[in-house]
Structure 1
Amino acid sequence: MRRVRRFLPVTFVALLAVACLYIIWPSVPGEFLPGNVPWPHGKGVKFGSFERRTLRLGLDLQGGTRLLLKAEVPQDFQGNVDDALDGTIRVLRKRVDASGVSEAEISRQGDRNLSVQLPGLTPERARSLLGRTAQLRFCEPAGANAADVGLCDQEGRWQQATGDVDGQRIALTGRYLKSNAFVQFDQAGRPGVGFEFQDPGGEVFRQITSRRIGQQIAIFLDNEQLSAPVVQSVISDRGSITGLTLDRAQELVVQLNAGALPLQLTVLQEQNVDATLGKDSVHRSVLAGEIGLLLVALFMILYYRFPGVIATVALVVYTLVSIALFKLIPVTLTLAGIGAFVLSIGMAVDANILIFERMKEELRAGRSYAASIDAGFSRAWPSIRDSNVSTLITCGVLYVLGGGFELPFIGTFDAPLVQGFAFTLAVGVAVSMFSAIRVTQILLHLFVGTGISRKHDWFVPEPSGTAVEGARP
């Protein structure tokens, strides 16, 4: 029974490593491994609607689109232009985040221009997602009062639909929608967008549909007519937009939930950005990382001998778990993120060094192998804990500040690359605490009472006198 209890933690670590290797195994192994070997192809992870097949790469690694947008300020605009620009950036950020694009950079350039970098998006998709004001309007056939309420189209067929609430005329627009629009499908499987109204939009919609039963009402997004359904009954709190493709429906949901842009945007420049490193350079970076890990492992084994072997195994487990988490969360990897990951590897090795030095001191003092393990970990833990907690606090500060804040006389400061660095480092540090403490400890305890625990020169290479010779296994 004791032997079973000893091997259970080791079995868990082995199964965890195999599971992580399965998760991160590339779908095209030849891009990262020697091409003359028939490697199996990775299938990624899929549980229901949750699916992860590849690592998410940033603009500098996979390319994407860079846009320069100009904010058009109307002559009769009465608000604060800087506030409107900052609000525009916030809406763009919501759209980008909701569409699943990470590591996007949105910043002001000059007085009224915005620079946007979107990794992994084509220029057409970027224009469609960000270039629209996304002002939703509900319209009815133009009548005698069309000039008073405003036209919806250039042909003059539709006018803005309105209603009266507490003696005030209210035009029904997207500002009265709740931020919970969703993609829905009709009985024939055709996609559309469902939405709900907030007060007083529901009452206005009830008035419009009650007077238009058997007639059409049109739904416009900016100057584009999305649909013109015939009203079948009085509706007050919800509605739907049909006749859309699935991609268009998903995009419209993002735009409606993020809200309309305070200012209209015009695309001044459009650039399709190639990956900075390119495929060859990425492969060389992977090779460099493998060589670096090999050199670290070689140093640990030569200097610490058997504990160095244990540390190397723990480092491999750390690498597998970290990359698996990057893929599952998912974390967008950029050059900054890769730098953070390499830094966290160094911190994981540093924790093992602290533990092994403490173990050597205990062995020199004549303590047993098992007691040296426990004492080494307990004495090294405060230093490891304080160092990693300090790093995590720093990561938290960087992540919060990188998310955007207001600077006097400058405006909105937005640094998603800083956020990516901070988040990647935080994940790596958290995993390193597990690998350095639990995995290393589990593997060292596996050899308690074995012949290896009696070979003290495998743990304390340099001569240490009678203290080591008197140590117990």
Structure 2
Amino acid sequence: MPPKRLRQLWGKWALLILPLGLGLYILYPTYRAWTLENRKAALQASGDSVQLAEFDQLYGAALQNAKQNALKLGLDLRGGMYVTLEVDVVKLLEEAAEREAIDDLFRQVLEATRQEAERSDEPVLSIFLRHFDRIARPQGRSLISYYDVGDLREISEEKILERLQRNIDDAINQAQEVIRQRVDKYGVAEANIQKQGTRRLVLELPGVTNEAEMRQLLQTTARLEFKLVRNNEEAVRAFSAIDQYLKRQRSGQSHSLTPPDTLQAQPAAPDTLQSDTVRSTSDTTTDPYAGLSDEERQRRFKEDFPFTSLFVTYYIQNERFVPVDYRRGEFPEGEYFFQIPKANLAEFETILARPDVQRLIPAEYEVALSAKPDERLQRQGYEIYTLYVLKREPELTGDVITDARATFDPTTHAPIVLMDMNTEGAERWARITGANVGKKIAIVLDGRVYSAPVVQTKITGGRSQITGMSSVQEAHLLEIVLKAGALKAPVKIIEERIVGPSLGEDSIRRGLLASVVAFLLVVLFMVGYYTAGGAVAVFALLVNVVLILALLSAFKGTLTLPGIAGIILTMGMAVDANILIFERIREELRRGRSLRTAVDEGHKRALSAILDSNITTFITGLILYFFGTGPIQGFAITLMIGILTTLFTALIVARAFIEILMAYDIHLTYGLPRKWLVAPTS
């Protein structure tokens, strides 16, 4: 072939080589990650820690880089968790209201809203308004009765509704972003997080194996607060008042108010407290339950003290823990200590949640539980939690936290989380600790007290720490949620599905088998019917599949089982485009046209039919993508990418291949006898 003629074919060769080469180059990290992961899995299975450490040193960075650029496999192929989260919009509406204005009518509205929202996909704000109009408005209430209107010049219910809707939208968007950050920091790089409806998020988390950790990570609100501890005589008097109130509610009961010895009637705290436990003076009084069986004693005591019988109360006197005698009604000033067994928590929280009981507790106080049972008592077989009475308004919140690090306490070697504050937070923390030397400040996360250390001195520099974690993993999870930030509203898991790795591997195996079988059947038909022309179509089909996978990888797409179905469908459509072209070429050859003319006319005549069918299918893919969810969207994306690559490979790549073959005087028969062929003209 003359050099000039050869140079004219360079563009044709480029159309063949560049797409295939570029596609394989983009897919190389996928192959690299697959081979390295297999090698690492083999070393982990062998238990050879030395070789595993050597592998991490040599290939750790390469594996991480390859995984970041590899084709992502969906949940159905890799295995993992499928989770549907729902933002607690009702809680958001409650917290937006003025606390002093909340009454029984408003609580009825919230409860009715919550019950209907659990059964309906209607926007929660619409449900709330409907129940508000039914329950509260006939009693003369309006939204202005419960919500701060801000600027009095713009006082109207419409402004309140606009603000509430804006708060809800912000909470959903913020929840999506915060959860994405948490999941990314946890290491699930291929997570798919999408909104569903007005209050839900759908998460696909491939590769997740520790479901319990992930549930905790997702549902933690991460609302960090620093609150002053108020375990004082005022709190104890409130607890005693709750006893008397609950007993008065029990009609037809007139048992004595005199309790038996507190430690005998209640679950006793073991002798592992920080100081000696001494008995109160009530030990010398006559036991009003003398002669009763243990079961009857417990029943009678619980009737007389329905609230304080659930927990143990101590008065701290000269570093000694003195059990409190609630029948005396005398509570000296000072610090108190409360503990409650796990078995009593449900009843305790039920009583404490009652609005009528809440009114007996000073408005500026709240009761909180420790996040974990006492470790020393737990080692002895007791699950005992500590109760704290806290100042309701926090001195400081987690908004000032700039960094969090999981590490170990150098003294106790227990896992802790160190926190750094911004400049404003550091200044406020210094003022707070300086004003409360000798007092306890509780570190509260999502309403649970992780620690309540005594302030020894003014703390400057904006450094603090959280203790109370039982493991390094728990400390690491807390580090993640603190770094990602707090959610504006709680979220809860309403649906959860686990896809096992073995099921994912089976899906991959079946999907690959289906793809290979489909490809081989196409090859047999095309080569058998169109001979060498069929081989050109097969090459174009191969380039097509490579380009689909490469584009998915390049644009950080995810290959799913429906996506594989989309690829198989695309293979059929790609072959269909080639068949249309080849049939038009055969028609021209039968009319006696030369091979060159037949190829030109065949492509021209087939173009409109190919474009019509592919454009209509592409529009169908768009509809599926915008109106579908999850697997349907995965199928639609792969289908649309496949249509674009099909047009490119059928109209450009295959045509370039045919042009090159004709330039080298290789005559394609397209399945016709050679008598129909006329020598091509240049």
So what's the TM-score if we normalise by structure 1? 0.66
Instruction: Give the Cα–Cα distance (whole angstroms) in 2 for the partners of residues 29 and 115 of structure 1.
Output: 31
Q: Are 1:469 and 2:682 counterparts?
A: no
The SS at the match of 1:212 is helix
**Aligned AA for 1:314?**
A
Matched, 1:138 2:144: no
How far apart are 1:18 and its partner, in Å?
Answer: 3.8
Partner Cα distance (2:108, 2:72) in 1: 41
Cα RMSD over matched residues? Answer: 5.1
Hey, what's the Cα distance between the residues in 2 that align with 1:19 and 1:59?
A: 25
Out of 433, 452, 456, the residue aligned to residue 647 of structure 2 is: 433
Aligned to 1:10: 16
2:513 partner amino acid: L
Partner of 1:388: 614
Output the amino acid matched with 1:441.
R
Instruction: Summarize the alignment of residues 259-298 of structure 1 with structure 2, pairs less than 5 Å apart.
Output: 259-262=487-490, 265=492, 272-275=498-501, 277=503, 279-280=505-506, 282-298=508-524
Q: Deviations over 1:333-378 (max 9, x none)?
A: 3332221221122111112222222333334444444444343333
**Alpha-carbon distance in structure 1 between the residues aligned to 2:419 and 2:363:** 30
- 1:448 deviation in Å? 3.1
The answer (yes or no) to whether the contact 2:194–2:203 under 8 Å persists in 1 is yes
* 1:359 counterpart residue number: 585
**Aligned match of 2:25:** 19
Q: How does 1:349-428 map to 2 (within 5 A)?
A: 349-402=575-628, 415-428=629-642
Say yes or no: does 1:60 pair with 2:81: no
**SS of residue matched to 1:400:** helix
SS in 1 for 2:556: coil
Q: 1:66 to 1:351 in 2, by over 3 A?
A: closer
User: In the alignment, is the contact (CA less than 8 A) between 1:311 and 1:440 conserved in 2?
Assistant: yes
* 1:146-295 equivalent positions in 2, closer than 5 A: 147-149=362-364, 151=366, 153-154=368-369, 155-156=387-388, 159=391, 161=393, 208=428, 211-212=431-432, 220-223=444-447, 232=460, 248-254=478-484, 256=486, 259-262=487-490, 265=492, 272-275=498-501, 277=503, 279-280=505-506, 282-295=508-521
Deviations 1:284-316 (A, max 9, x none): 442332122011012111212222111111111
Moved more, 98-107 or 417-426: 98-107
State the partner residue of 1:124. Answer: 212
Q: How far apart are the structure 2 equivalents of 1:352 and 1:56?
A: 30
1:459 is aligned to 2:670: yes
Structure 2 SS opposite 1:25: helix
- Give the Cα–Cα distance (whole angstroms) in 2 for the partners of residues 383 and 208 of structure 1: 73
Letter in 2 for 1:3: L
Match of 1:450 in 2: 664
**For residues 432 and 37 of structure 2, what CA distance do their matches in structure 1 show?**
62
Letter in 1 for 2:643: V
Per-residue CA distance 1:199-226 (angstroms, 9 max, x = gap)? xxx99x7995584375798764313568
Q: Helix, strand or coil: the match of 2:662? A: coil
Determine if contact 2:507/2:561 at 8 Å carries over to the other structure. Answer: no
The one-letter amino acid of 2:445's match is L
Letter in 1 for 2:651: I
SS at match of 2:213: helix
CA contact (8 A) 2:222 2:482 kept: no
The offset of 1:388, in angstroms, is: 2.3
Pair 444,157 (structure 1): closer, same or farther in 2 beyond 3 Å:
farther
Once the two structures are TM-superposed, the CA of residue 271 in structure 1 deviates from its matched residue by: 6.5
Alpha-carbon separation, structure 2, partners of 1:251 and 1:374: 63
Is 2:526 the counterpart of 1:300?
A: yes
Secondary structure of 1:138's counterpart equals strand
Q: Residue type matched to 2:77 in 1?
A: L
d(CA) in 1 for partners of 2:365, 2:604 = 75
The aligned counterpart of 1:323 is: 549
Cα distance change, pair 226–303 in 1 and its aligned pair in 2 (3 A)? farther
Q: Secondary structure at the match of 2:586?
A: helix
Taking every aligned residue pair, what percent have the same amino acid on both sides?
A: 28
Amino acid at match of 1:334: T
Provide the C-alpha distance between the structure 2 equivalents of 1:459 and 1:395, rounded to a whole number of angstroms. Answer: 32
Separation (CA, whole Å) in 2 of partners of 1:123 and 1:329 = 29
Change in CA separation of 1:117 and 1:359 when aligned onto 2, cut-off 3 Å: same
Question: Counterparts of 2:579 and 2:587 in 1: how far apart (Å)?
Answer: 12
**Aligned partners of 2:203 and 2:541: how far apart in 1?**
38
Change (3 A) 1:282 1:96: same
Superposed displacement of residue 261, structure 1: 3.4
Larger Rg: 2
Per the alignment, do residues 296 and 50 of structure 1 end up closer, same or farther by CA in structure 2, a change over 3 Å counting?
closer
| CA distance in structure 2 between the aligned counterparts of 1:278 and 1:378, rounded to whole angstroms | 45
> Structure 1 residue 127: deviation in Å?
0.8
Work out whether residues 586 and 672 of structure 2, in 8 Å CA contact, stay in contact via their aligned partners in 1: no
Amino acid of the structure 2 residue aligned with 1:424: T
Contact 1:363–1:471 (Cα < 8 Å) also in 2: no
Task: Report the equivalent of 2:53.
Answer: none
- The 1:219/1:350 distance shift into structure 2, 3 A limit, reads farther
How many Å separate the matches in 2 of 1:46 and 1:392?
Answer: 38
User: 5+ unaligned residues in a row in structure 1: which ranges?
Assistant: 32-42, 164-171, 197-201, 403-414
Report the Cα offset of residue 472 of structure 1.
3.4
Specify the SS of the correspondent of 1:139: strand
CA distance in structure 2 between the partners assigned to 1:104 and 1:182 by the alignment: 25
Q: Distance between the aligned counterparts of 2:450 and 2:623, measured in 1?
A: 44
Q: Deviations over 1:69-107 (max 9, x none)?
A: 899878937454324599798777656655355467998
Q: What's the CA shift for 1:192? A: 8.2
Q: Residue 338 of structure 1 corresponds to which residue in structure 2? A: 564
